[in-house]
Amino acid sequence: MDRHGSVEAQRKTKKMTYKVSDNLAEFHKLAEGFETSTYRDSGGVLTIGIGHANQDTAAFAEGDTWSERQCLDVWRADVAVAEKHANNNISVDNCPQELFDAYVDLIFNTGVVPKTLARKVNVGDFEGATEELPKWVYVNGEVVGGLVKRRMAMYAYVKGGDWEEILKYPLKTRSESSMAGFNELLAKWGYEFVAKPNTSKKFALEPRSGA
């Protein structure tokens, strides 16, 4: 396939409405947390299901227990807004399911609707769209390890690789051995997460030299 898609694909009028897959639910179970009973997340927020909090779509009380089906139904309602934004920005019918899932995850996680990723999808540049994912790792101008894990796991998800090993990795940015082990995982995808002690940024996620 032409990296930028055919002229026909670029002119194509979208007729379908995409839906997130159940595979994205599995991704979110690891990325957001998953419990059928209430629990407190890392920030102390009362949560249930797949990272569902009370400010979202369905209310609950501490001590509640939901079925796995109820957790999945509520999760789908939670991601519906991001799903709608993604559909509003993708104008072609041939976007790969994994890439659509990644776009929804990015919107859901950041609250931002990235236009460049959608623009690349709309001209058939699916590889270029996927390469947008590792750019979204900043908070207040600094690269955050947790976001590096999430974006690179989603990068592997889109590429059909083992995304779980990245999300599950116990990354400790102050440990050289932990960073080295993490970079062994990222090497499969042509990236590295490096410390930048002599620059204004503490860390960077970069393409590996020679990749």
Residue 86 clears pLDDT 60, i.e. is over it: yes
Report d(CA 104, CA 87) in Å as an integer: 9
Report d(CA 107, CA 62) in Å as an integer: 28
3-state secondary structure of 17: coil
Helical residues (DSSP H) of the chain, grouped into ranges: 7-11, 22-32, 68-89, 97-110, 115-122, 126-130, 145-159, 164-167, 176-187
Question: pLDDT tens across 115-154, in order?
Answer: 999 999 999 999 999 999 999 999 988 999 999 999 999 9
Closest CA to 171 of 190, 156, 151: 151
Residue 11 clears pLDDT 80, i.e. is over it: no
